[in-house]
Amino acid sequence: MSVYINSTGHFLPGPAINNDEIETILGLVNGKKSRLKRKILQSNGIKTRHYAINQQQETQISNSEMAANAGKSCLGNSYISPNQVEMLSVATSQGDLVLPGFGSMIQAELDISSVELQTSHGICSSSMMALKAAYTNIKAQETKNALVIASELASRLFKHTRYEQVAGNEIDFNAEFLRWMLSDGAGALLLENQPRKTGKSLRIDWIKSFSHADVYPVCMSVGMPKDSDKSWQDFATYSEAEQAGALLLRQDVRLLENIVAVGVNGFLKLQQDKMFNVDEVDHVLCHFSSAYFKSKIVDMLSVAGVQIPEDKWYTNLYERGNTGCASIFIMLDEFLSSHSLTVGETLFCMVPESGRFNCAYMHLTVVE
């Protein structure tokens, strides 16, 4: 039983925001411009991104609404209607609510009845986990199709008022770093057990992931204060957790370099296991958070004797920003709309995640 990606879609909220406009949306912390912003933006290479909040830091569209819009876009490009969807598999880092699951909220937004539901919670690679769940469900002939959606609304975490609640107003680098890295958006894929009736489909040859949480400490998190492993739920009140900085999104930049080695090692393992032939890869879609890491990945592959010419690499990072788990789906949708593929071409997708170091991979083949 083969599984095919027969349709894709995405949704980006609001207009594109350039680097000079970021602080007009997210706000100035304590009325002061950031001293780190320019340095971080120069490193990540992002020029524009989208936010679901406005200049008053008011949410204009919820995470579940963005996800539903991406799902509608995907189904609009397909041959099935919403009431024919048999499985809904979704992913996000943080939904609009702590409970219930993100999938339930999206199902309600889409008004889909009696669907099998699955929610993957994590960071960047959670979309691939949601995709793998849908893929294996169809392979097992439990369902004939599945709508897979990944959506992120990070901007709500970056309001200046969030940072101003921390006791002493002391904002460390690890807490500010991601403020200039992440943005909002949603992407969706439709999986079916048969290729499209007309046009081309992407056959999913395999999806694999390797987690290294047993080896590395937490690198990216929400819920722990600086230099502590105390949970935000262990504070006497939520306000105390906020004052301790436990609700800020943090990135331990000292550990971040490990993501390159983790990603490349998994790539080499898959090649050694003969999961694919690197010389036969036509296109590489790699989710990376920064231009800095792309060059590191390319260099390390070259040192390992596995060279993939840079003209085979595709990214929309610089125009769309880093939309977390939604990035790879948005990227795939924009790649397909901007490239004319021929039958037999192959795509290698790679999604490294720095949460506690997980890396997911996927191999696709164009079929008719």
pLDDT in tens, 76-110: 999 999 999 999 999 999 999 999 999 999 999 99
CATH number at residue 173: 3.40.47.10
* Same domain for 186 and 42: yes
Residues of the chain with pLDDT under 50: none
CA angle 14, 17, 22 (to 5 degrees): 120
Question: Cα-Cα-Cα-Cα dihedral of 254, 358, 152, 172, to 10°?
Answer: -10
Cβ atoms of residues 4 and 195 within 8 Å:
yes
* Same domain for 33 and 173: yes
310 falls within a domain: yes
Contacts of 44 (CB under 8 A, 6+ apart): 180, 181, 289, 290, 291, 292, 317, 322
State the pLDDT at residue 74: 98
Cβ atoms of residues 339 and 8 within 8 Å:
no
State the pLDDT at residue 304: 84
Placement of tokens 């219930």 in the chain: 100
Which structure tokens are listed for 22? 């970021």
Give the range of the structural domain holding residue 350, as residue numbers without chain letter. Answer: 201-217+252-367
Give the residue ranges of DSSP H helices in the chain.
Answer: 22-26, 37-44, 63-76, 102-110, 126-139, 160-164, 173-176, 238-243, 253-256, 258-272, 291-303, 317-320, 327-338
In the chain, how many domains are there? 2
* Same domain for 120 and 54: yes
Q: Check: pTM over 0.95? Answer yes or no.
A: yes
308 falls within a domain: yes
* Same domain for 187 and 271: no
Give per-residue pLDDT as tens, 342-360: 999 999 999 999 999 999 9
State the pLDDT at residue 167: 81
State the pLDDT at residue 293: 87
68 falls within a domain: yes
State the pLDDT at residue 301: 87
Residue 89, SS3 per DSSP: strand
| Phi-psi region at 165: left, alpha or beta (left = phi > 0; alpha = psi -120 to 50) | alpha
239 falls within a domain: no
DSSP conformation class of 134: H
